[in-house]
A and B are shown apart, each in its own frame.
Chain A
Amino acid sequence: MKNNIDIQITVPNQTRYLSLVGRIGENMARELDNVPGDRETLGHHINVVLTEALVNAIKHASASAPDNQVQIRINVRDKELVIRVYDNGQGFDLDLVPANGCPDPLNERGRGIFIIRSLMDSVEYKKANGGNVLEMKKKLG
C-alpha cells in the first residue's frame, strides 16, 4: 500500500512544544508502509529533524515576536518524505551555513543545520506565504 499522509501542526513558538511535535513525527514513522530499514531509527531521525527545525524557527526566525506561531507540515507520498517548517520572522541565510563538514567539536552552537543536512537528502530555506519555510526532503527507500 502506498503511503499518503499529510499532517499539519500549528504550535506557539515556544520550546515546550518540541517534544510534542517530535513525537508526532516519530509515531508517524511507525505507521509507514514499504519503508526499508529500521523504522525506529527513521522515527528517531524525524524526531531530531523536527526538533532542530522547530528550534531554528523559534530562535532565529521568530524571536522578535514571542506570540507568533510556527507551522509544521509533514507530508509522505509513496516513498518521499517532505517536512516543511514555516516561520514569519526575519529569517536567516542558509548559504552562510557551511554545506559540508562537521562543525568544530568544541563549538557549543551551530550543529542544528548540520544535523538536518546529515539526516535528510535536501534542505532549502526560502520565502513562502509572506514568511519563510525550511523545506527538507528524504527518499524513503
Chain B
Amino acid sequence: MNLKTELNGTVMVVIVREERLDAHNSEELKAEINRLFDSGTKDLLVDLKEVRFIDSSGLGVLVSGFKNAATHQGSIKLCSLQTQVKSMFELTRLHRVFDIYQTMDEALESY
C-alpha cells in the first residue's frame, strides 16, 4: 500500500495514495496508524484525497484508529473525502463519529 507519512507542526499526516481502501489493503493502513500511536503520535490526520472507493473494511480500520487514538489520549481526523467516499461515511453514520474537513489546510487549522 502506498502511504505517505509526514509531520506538519505537531500533527502527523498520513496520505493514503491509493484509489481504493478495501479489504485487500486496509490492514496496512491499520498497521501504520497503530505504529504511529504506539511511537508517541498524539494528533493524526488521514488525508483521503486520492481514495475514490472505500468498503466496510476500510471504514473499520478508521474506526479502529479512532478507538486507538482515544486509548492514547490522542485524536484522529480525516480530510479531503471524495463524494463517493463521503457517501459511505453517511450511509454508515460514521460522519457523526469523525471530525471531517474538506481540505488538509482546513484540518490543520483546526488544531
The segment from A62-70, A71-79, A110-118 that touches chain B is: A110-118
Is A16's CB within 8 Å of the partner chain B? Answer: yes
A55 B63 Cβ-Cβ under 8 A: no
- Given A105-B92, A108-B64, A114-B92, verify A19-B24 contact (CB < 8 Å): yes
Count of chain B residues with a beta carbon within 8 Å of a chain A beta carbon? 24
Grouping DSSP codes into helix (H, G, I), strand (E, B) and loop, the A interface class, with mixed when no group exceeds half, is helix
Number of A-B contacts (CB under 8 A): 72
A3–B55 CA distance with the chains assembled, in angstroms: 28
Looking at B24, B66, B88, the one whose CB has the most chain A CB atoms below 10 A away is B24
Complex: chain A residue closest to B64, CB-CB:
A108
A127–B71 CA distance with the chains assembled, in angstroms: 43
Is A39's CB within 8 Å of the partner chain B? Answer: no
Partner of A105, one of B53, B88, B94: B94
Is B76's CB within 8 Å of the partner chain A? Answer: no
Contact-residue bracket for chain A: 20 to 34
B60 A108 Cβ-Cβ under 8 A: yes
Is A106's CB within 8 Å of the partner chain B? Answer: yes
Is B23's CB within 8 Å of the partner chain A? Answer: yes
B contact residues around A108 at 8 Å (CB): 60-61, 63-64, 67
A111 B56 Cβ-Cβ under 8 A: yes
A44–B84 CA distance with the chains assembled, in angstroms: 7
B contact residues around A55 at 8 Å (CB): 22-23, 55-57
Taking the closest CB of chain B, its distance from the CB of A135, in whole angstroms, is 19
A18 B67 Cβ-Cβ under 8 A: no
Is B77's CB within 8 Å of the partner chain A? Answer: no
B contact residues around A105 at 8 Å (CB): 63, 92-94, 96-97
The 23 listed contacts between A and B (C-beta, < 8 Å) are A15-B23, A18-B24, A22-B20, A22-B53, A41-B87, A44-B87, A48-B55, A51-B53, A55-B22, A55-B56, A55-B57, A58-B23, A105-B97, A106-B67, A107-B60, A108-B60, A108-B64, A109-B56, A109-B60, A111-B56, A112-B55, A115-B55, A119-B91
